Amino acid sequence: MTSEQDDSRLRQERLRKLEMIRELNINPYPYSFTRSHKAQELHEKYKDLPADTETEDVVRVCGRVLNERNTWMFVDLYDDSGKIQLFCHKQNIPEEELKRLRLLDKGDFLGAEGTVRRTKQGELSVKVTSYEILGKTLQPLPDSWDGFTDVEARYRHRYVDMIMNPNVRDTFRKRSIAIRTIREFLDSRGCLEVETPVLQVEAGGADARPFITHHNTLDIDLYLRIATELHLKRLIVGGFERVYEIGRIFRNEGISTRHNPEFTMLELYWAYGDYNQLMDLAEEMIVETAIKVAGASKVTYQGVEIDFKRPFRRLRMVDAIKETTGLDCSTLKTFEDAKTAAVKLGGVDLTHCDTRGHVLNAIFEHKAESSLIQPTFLIDYPVEMSPLTKPHRTNPGEVERFELFAYGRELANGYSELTDPLDQRQRLEEQAAKKAAGNEEAMPLDLDFINAMEYGMPPTMGIGIGIDRLVMLLTDSASIRDVVAFPTMKPIVK
RNA sequence: GCGUCCGUAGCUCAGCUGGUAGAGCACUCGGCUUUUAACCGAUUGGUCGUGCGUUCGAGUCGCACCGGACGCACCA
């Protein structure tokens, strides 16, 4: 096991110092501190101050001590805007107070007052005349020489990760910017942000295994939602023409660098539009988000340049298959034809395929998906794997669905929503039959959803975007855990 | 669930075909210093992931287990 950051020797030492601070009648955990400037503000205000120059300007700064040199003569103080150096010298501070600095440790919070100067070395500093401790640390921070690199420890103690690794804080700021951009984009287009139930009697709207929980007084099992789709569409039925939810989704599946059991999805439903208009809208939103987060529509992800430049390529699934395998799907009339062709290609896992459409999708996933590096809308899916999607207006057996891929990964899924209640009932009954036959990922029959649709639903376009995966791409994060502040971890068994 | 790799001091790691458990950093003490110290000196710190086995002798070899990383599978 890795360190729990509780080495008793180092902690005891800090407890000893804490005791000494208290014996001096100093509160090591005071109530407030009035600051005049953040570090960044000082750097901006005094950017033209020459080296080895003093000012008379008195400032008050506060933050966390992360480094100290020359026996506390130079202290690196960090706030959430950056670093400012403190210069602590007996010339300016009473000697006994100067000595008390040694009761501090790296990691402690400190407030200081003094004048602004730039040192001979060119480092902007606060020449400290008085200081106060604002929070004593008991746990030692990781070695700043080696950094905090243990992958497991970083995720388990994310707060330490954030203290030690500025890029981690930066990633979460960017995540916030991404979500805010999307909100503003949608709000400015008349979309209404709504909230729908997390706890559901049946978990529908996607193919995934749900988490199960229990309500005590009702004495019933409930599922955590695997999608927000079915409730958002009820809102469309209810008369809201543009609704969206940025919500946590829970799926009881494997954990990997691209999957966290809980993740954040944007789902948007917009009446009177179809999947063609939706692709235009999605492009615009994603490009705007990329520019706000990464500064440009072009980003580098894991060494590969990804250009979110409009328009994104639009590629029919059957054409993607043809491009990479040479296979003409129109010659595959039946499930058996498709299976035979897939076996002939080799390397296609058909374990969960029970229809022609699923086989085509498997061929795509195994042969073509990883080659979709630049943003590409894969369009026109087989009807069998899309029970909530409107049939294609011209191509039999297909539906008006797209998925957006970038770096070979799925980012979004959208379609012209199925609005025919009779067709919907039939498709969900087929799903329910599969579920009854043991397919854990098939959708349950949500009769109330069908009932809602029987009350009438306008033509609607709808999309789901994996926010975590989008943020991964825009922040060059290799793992979904890098963009989730507190990723799911196996508990430590003692 | 399967495969590959990994587990030695608080951290980063060394430790050869089996033979006295090490280094740097951190911590503590001391020194030096009115502009950079990631300095100098000394001390402290270990059930070598756990268990069993082979052996005169195991950090090292074997087996099992625990934990982790990555990949695959599952999953958009």
Q: Which residues pair with A84 in a beta bridge?
A: A77
Residue by residue, pLDDT tens for chain A (494 residues) are 233 334 567 888 888 899 989 999 999 999 999 999 999 999 999 999 998 888 999 999 999 998 888 889 999 999 999 999 999 988 888 888 888 888 999 899 999 999 999 988 889 999 999 999 999 988 888 877 777 878 888 888 888 888 888 888 999 999 999 999 999 999 999 999 999 999 999 888 888 889 999 999 999 999 999 999 999 999 999 999 999 999 999 999 888 889 999 999 999 999 999 999 999 999 999 999 999 999 999 999 988 899 999 999 999 999 999 988 888 988 888 888 888 888 888 778 887 788 899 899 999 988 888 889 999 999 999 998 899 999 999 999 999 999 999 999 999 999 999 999 999 999 999 988 888 887 777 888 899 999 999 999 999 999 999 999 999 999 999 899 999 998 888 776 64
Q: Is the predicted ipTM greater than 0.90, yes or no?
A: no
Q: Is the CB of A214 under 7 A from strand B?
A: no
Closest to A101 measured CA to CA, from A24, A9, A33: A24
* d(C-alpha A413, C-alpha A185), whole Å: 19
Q: Which nucleotide is nearest to A3 (CA to C1')?
A: B10
Check residue A207 and give its pLDDT. 84
CA atom of A490 to C1′ atom of B63, Å: 27
Sheet holding A212-215, edge to edge: A199-200, A220-224, A212-215
State residue A148's pLDDT score: 82
Task: Quickly name the fold that domain A8-141 has.
Answer: OB fold (Dihydrolipoamide Acetyltransferase, E2P) (2.40.50)
pLDDT given for residue A140 in this prediction: 83
Q: Which residue is nearest to nucleotide B28 (CA to C1')?
A: A13
Q: What is the pLDDT of residue A413?
A: 95
The reported pLDDT for the residue numbered A7 is 52
Where do the CATH 3.30.930.10 domains begin and end in chain A? Answer: 164-312+374-482
Cis peptide before A311 (omega within 30 of 0): yes
* Nearest of A258, A256, A390, A398 to residue A321 by alpha carbon: A398
**Environment class of residue A364 by beta-carbon count within 10 Å: exposed (0-12), middle (13-18) or buried (19+)?**
buried
Two tokens at A303? 């060494």
Q: Is the CB of A152 under 7 A from strand B?
A: yes
Closest CA to the C1' of B32: that residue is A70
| Residue labelled with tokens 């407890």 | A15
Residue numbers in A 228-267, CB below 7 Å of strand B: 251, 253-259
Size of chain A in residues = 494
Find out if CATH 3.30.365.10 is the number for domain A164-312+374-482.
no
Q: Which residue is nearest to nucleotide B49 (CA to C1')?
A: A1
**Stretch(es) of chain A classified as CATH 2.40.50.140:** 8-141
A434 contacts A427 by C-beta, under 8 angstroms: no
Bases of chain B below 7 A from a protein C-beta are: 1, 10-12, 24-29, 31-39, 44-45, 49, 66-76
CB within 7 A of strand B (chain A, 166-195): none
Q: Identify the residue whose Cα has the smallest distance to the C1' of B72.
A: A256
Give the three-class secondary structure for A331. Answer: helix
Quick one: pLDDT at residue A2?
Answer: 31
Hits for CB < 7 Å against strand B across A residues 421-480: 441, 466, 479
- Nucleotide of closest approach to A4 (CA, C1'): B10
Cα gap A413→A425, rounded to integer Å:
22
